[in-house]
Structure 1
């Protein structure tokens, strides 16, 4: 049986929220526990949240008022670092995708995506922290190569052979437990490796590690 994934929907289009909620009502393992029509309303919910039901993923739009998706993501990552974010937006361009990923967004899905892609992205983000399509990776490469927007992380030489091995497995969307089993190590050892890698490369989360791996050709496009 799959884990129940509790999500929040944040979008200023009421009909869109109703439509996505209806879609999820027919998906056994995805549960919409709250909705909001703008970023401020959602932050107020998070600040006052009293329910013991954990919120796993926030699915948000970019173009909202009075607080847009960029500002909302920055606020979430500042105050609620464990909350994963999926952006669901019609603004699907390399500079926006790259910027949102750099902020720590776990996935970026266009609003014209089908139900299966959306469900798959939610399950992947819940399981491994990220979901990148090949289009996302190509856009990320464009973003990183766009001069002033180059992502600055520490050089690959700072990582040991074992740490590079761990990074590769993280990019393949393996959990800490799965990596531990593949490398014949304990889960605790992998957790320590992951934190040490984050500290070395200057990344804040798994998304940042994937950005680092692509930039250094540890995890190149197929």
Structure 2
């Protein structure tokens, strides 16, 4: 399998160059390029588009990021975009995923989580950082308190706990061990969660939580 190419769209700050060097040492990527202007970025996307593109919020307003993601995904659907945001709220993160990003990290995400996000994207899955997932769980809880009409009935505290573990990528076996309950009980909870959220299956539950009507 060929190593992917990476482009980082950000100001040429020390941390960007440092990140580039760290990633070079990880030997995940074939090449790593840094673009610091729209012209440079679109020229590269046209001539030699990378497999993965990182867009930082350092040099762009959120509305500009929305527009940029839309422009890129309209012509380069195969590029996997990761946005490094400034602790955006769940509505904005959902909007970014709807526009076509595949990964979201907060600025305070750690390097090991960054590597994890890359590996997950290379498996054709989506990634949302732990901080954002925590905000998503809290958001869902508060929305239930408002009697969200799209949820058939509120998730119980135990179901919220299991939803969070599913978002963390835990299997039914992992969940049963963490919560000291049987696998059958976990499976029953899973089915009830999927039914309540009107989701078809538990694969990519985070994606369903974002794309379905859990978050308005």
Q: Identify whether the pair has TM-score above 0.5, normalized to the shorter chain.
A: yes
Structure with higher Rg: it is 2
The residue that corresponds to 1:77 in the other structure is 73
Pairing of 1:167-186 with structure 2 (within 5 A):
none
Correspondent of 1:211 among 161, 184, 208: 208
The residue that corresponds to 1:64 in the other structure is 59
Structural RMSD (CA) = 3.9
State the secondary structure of the residue aligned to 2:101: coil
Correspondent of 2:107 among 106, 111, 116: 111
Query: Which range moves more in the overlay, 87-96 or 132-141?
Result: 132-141
| CA shift for structure 1 position 213 | 7.8
| CA shift for structure 1 position 214 | 6.5
Question: Normalised by the size of structure 1, how large is the TM-score?
Answer: 0.57
Q: For 1:121 and 1:114, how far apart are their aligned partners in 2?
A: 11
| Paired residues, number | 160
The residue that corresponds to 1:100 in the other structure is 96
Cα pair 1:24 1:32 within 8 Å, conserved? no
Pairing of 1:27-176 with structure 2 (within 5 A):
27-49=26-48, 55-64=50-59, 68-137=64-133, 139-140=135-136, 142=139
Q: For 2:15 and 2:70, how far apart are their aligned partners in 1?
A: 23
The residue that corresponds to 1:200 in the other structure is none
